[in-house]
Structure 1
Amino acid sequence: MSPTTSLASLVDVHPHPSRPLTSLSHNLWVPSGARGVFGGQVIAQSLLASSSTVAPPLGLHSTHCYFLLPARAQPTIEYRIEKLRDGKSYASRLVRAWQGDREVFVLLASYTLPPTKLPPNLGGGRAVVHEGESQADDGLKVSNSLRFVSSPNVKEITSTSSHTKEVQQDNGFQEKYQAPLPENLLPWEECEEEAVRWQKWMDEKGSRFTGTKRKFLQEYIRERRESPVSIARALTKDHDGNHHIRMSWLRARLDPSEKPSEETVKAMIAYMTDFQFIGTASRSVGLHQSSTPRLGMLASLDHSIHFYPFPANFDPSKPLLHVMESQAVDVASGRGTVKGCVYTLDGVLVAVTGQEGVVRADLRGLEAKGLVEGGAVEEDEERKVKAKL
């Protein structure tokens, strides 16, 4: 990966020269020590391939995807798009990523219209109801899955006319809600970027690391310096040390002249939110390279993102905060689930993320303790337990 590579160029795709509804990958990146291409890049390129077949004003609002096989740096990935639906308000696309004769990834994407401008005093103020009409039955449309509707607090006001009355509602309605931003958060400027933080650690304590471990850390520092995404560990002022929550500042590196479209920005967010995501799950149960047992395998199985409207002053070159929280980890099953929220610097929530992944312990030389059935380990012909990697 070139140190000057911008994130917008890494998520971009090219149309196939002869096959319709097909896009081609380029600049695929395999992180040091990884089994295949970085998953966030495959998600992002699939999204841009999909979005190229959807006409404005529809824009991406959600995506769900599955990693089937590790993608390799070569050959080129073909993103084959199928148009599932083109409606007035929603459109749906299916993207299947093929590398040679291997299908490595599948993605569903849904698109919708921009937000509607709401009328003033919505949910409050006064409404005129003519005599004999029922306000509760006034064209209410509900989903078939809705089983009950809460009754609003209604106050009747006598009208001077015998045929009408005014109804004032106070039902607690609000136009928006979002999961609150963590309290006492240190700003981006006070948090050290990963490359700087680990280089300081190497300078102060790295002398005790030699061989493979030292090379791994040096390679990680180099990759972070050259990465199109600057990452800084986000901290709170009280440093509560909550191990099931991880927070990261993510900043896309862009060329000064670049003005990425909104759909490209969404693909960039997809790329960035795959960093350290499923690792939040293993961290919540104390499973890592130096733990006992050691972390045996960590890999994404699926990824989902729901996007919400960007604020008017949104700047894609500014940092975003990804708050990741482990939801469930079962080492016996070899799986873990995490969810996340993506905020702007001003605290506006712009995306909700989710991921399930493989979280396996390396139990070679250890007693199985009931983990065989869960898929975390298997026994060889000598009845010795070994990790299924």
Structure 2
Amino acid sequence: MKGTQPSSTSTNNSKALIEEVLELTPVLGTGPDNFTNVKPLWRPPGNRGIFGGIVIAQTLVAAQKTVAPDFPVRSMHCYFVFAGDGEVPILYHVERLVDTTEYVVRSVSAKQGDRLIFSATLSFTKFDENNAGRVDYSVPPPAVEKPADVGSGWDSGQPFQLVTASFDRTFAKPEIKKFRQWALSRGKISSSGGQQAHLGALAYLTDSFLLGTVYRAHLVRRFSSPTAMQRLQHVKSQPEPDMEALQYFQALADIEKRDLGGNYQTDKEVGMMVSLSHSIYFHNPAVVRADDWLLSEMETPWAGDGRGMVVSRWWSSDGVLIATCVQEGVMRMNESKTLQNSREGKL
């Protein structure tokens, strides 16, 4: 199970692939409001743990199961504690902290065995139909074209197609660079999944390529660095190479080369990258449609002390701002293999 990717097609033709990823079931005999995943947990090749977007999204789904549908999620604040094991089911325990006629608050702890791997606090708000005196404004979407066709982008086998829209790599300062990306669900989200499935899908998406904005903005390579290329050659040289891992790393290296456009630092490469915290503010939950093109814009306002922060904004296909996300993580940069070899007289 470790390192395996989800199939690019759903086993249930009436549902999108992301709905299978989001599926949880009650855990009987363990008390109320306990849920666990139904499908295997995807660990990207080379990662220490499962993809963070899975546990973010499944945490939202678990909390939604204890909240009335007319209370859409307003925000969720998450903390990654330990890397998740792809071979161990996750137990999501929901605590009902607040229930009023206007607000609902839930706390969710995600455990594997006795180990807490993730925790989150979520707020839900009943839709306010009274517009009197309300202030309305939002940041407009960037002017980028939608992908030409549904089949565009990298077929990673994940529940979404991801297509780079633009990257301001020529700007001198990393804090003003912006990376933009389109995303589209593979398959239509079912009516039975409803709006809660669309919101869970968006939560999953918010972790895609997010922390990587830090190293991209600094023009530091991760997947196409000399060390990464050495690893890729090692995989290729095996008597029975792991073709899944090979295709995965090669695709990411190709995307990185294209996005950086040959403009990168030669003396540094990414050594380690781990998410610490993740917050999502849902602005217009009623209009989220994950099976239509969604546009994200990512920027990194700060990096220091071995950490980096990224802010992303998400717009619907017709330009409505639907979410803002903030993530912080550990970032370690190493000297590149080329520079190390040069210092050791190997070049």
1:14-35: CA deviation from partner (whole Å, max 9, x where unpaired): 1112221100013211111111
> 1:226 aligns to what SS in structure 2?
coil
> 2:166 aligns to what SS in structure 1?
coil
CA distance in 1, matches of 2:215, 2:65: 36
Counterpart of 2:194, as a letter, is S
The answer to whether the 8 Å contact 1:92/1:110 transfers is: yes
**Which of 186, 191, 203 is residue 145 of structure 2 equivalent to?**
186
Task: Name which structure has the greater RCO, CA cutoff 8 Å, separation 6+.
Answer: 2
The reply to whether residue 2 of structure 1 matches residue 13 of structure 2 is no
Counterpart of 1:292, as a letter, is D
Measured after TM superposition, the shift of residue 257 of structure 1 is: 4.9
The reply to whether residue 63 of structure 1 matches residue 76 of structure 2 is yes
The answer to whether the 8 Å contact 2:202/2:290 transfers is: no
The reply to whether residue 81 of structure 1 matches residue 94 of structure 2 is yes
| Structure 1 partner of 2:272 | 297
CA distance in 2, matches of 1:32, 1:187: 29
1:267-312: CA deviation from partner (whole Å, max 9, x where unpaired): 1101011110000011112222324222101121111101112466
The structure-2 alpha-carbon separation of the partners of 1:269 and 1:257, relative to structure 1 and needing over 3 Å to count, comes to closer
> 1:234 aligns to what SS in structure 2?
strand
Matches within 5 A, 1:1-389: 1-5=6-10, 6-19=17-30, 20-27=32-39, 28-119=41-132, 122=133, 175-183=135-143, 185-189=144-148, 193-195=152-154, 224-235=155-166, 241-242=170-171, 244-255=177-188, 257=190, 259-289=192-222, 290=225, 291-310=266-285, 315-330=289-304, 333-363=305-335
> 1:194 aligns to what SS in structure 2?
coil
| Structure 2 partner of 1:210 | none
Q: Once structures 1 and 2 are overlaid, which stretch shifts more, 73-82 or 62-71?
A: 73-82
The answer to whether the 8 Å contact 2:93/2:110 transfers is: yes
The answer to whether the 8 Å contact 2:8/2:157 transfers is: yes
The structure-2 alpha-carbon separation of the partners of 1:310 and 1:53, relative to structure 1 and needing over 3 Å to count, comes to closer
CA distance in 2, matches of 1:66, 1:44: 13
The answer to whether the 8 Å contact 1:67/1:301 transfers is: yes
Could you list the structure 1 runs, at least 4 aligned residues long, displaced by more than 3 angstroms after superposition.
190-194, 239-243, 255-259, 363-367
| Structure 2 partner of 1:201 | none
Measured after TM superposition, the shift of residue 177 of structure 1 is: 0.7
1:63-94: CA deviation from partner (whole Å, max 9, x where unpaired): 00010000011211000111111112111111
> 1:93 aligns to what SS in structure 2?
strand
5+ unaligned residues in a row in structure 1: which ranges? 123-173, 196-223, 368-389
1:224-260: CA deviation from partner (whole Å, max 9, x where unpaired): 3421110000138xx7745631111011113575553
The answer to whether the 8 Å contact 2:34/2:93 transfers is: yes
CA distance in 1, matches of 2:220, 2:207: 19
CA distance in 2, matches of 1:10, 1:84: 27
The answer to whether the 8 Å contact 2:78/2:120 transfers is: yes
CA distance in 1, matches of 2:99, 2:289: 30
Counterpart of 1:282, as a letter, is Y
5+ unaligned residues in a row in structure 2: which ranges? 1-5, 11-16, 226-265, 340-347
Measured after TM superposition, the shift of residue 341 of structure 1 is: 0.7
Measured after TM superposition, the shift of residue 188 of structure 1 is: 2.5
> 2:46 aligns to what SS in structure 1?
coil
Measured after TM superposition, the shift of residue 315 of structure 1 is: 3.8
Measured after TM superposition, the shift of residue 97 of structure 1 is: 0.6
Measured after TM superposition, the shift of residue 191 of structure 1 is: 9.8
* TM-score where L is the length of structure 2: 0.75
Counterpart of 2:163, as a letter, is A
Identity in percent: 31
The answer to whether the 8 Å contact 1:115/1:309 transfers is: no
Larger Rg: 1
| Structure 2 partner of 1:213 | none
CA distance in 1, matches of 2:212, 2:336: 21
Structure 1 or 2: more helix by fraction:
2
CA distance in 2, matches of 1:3, 1:17: 31
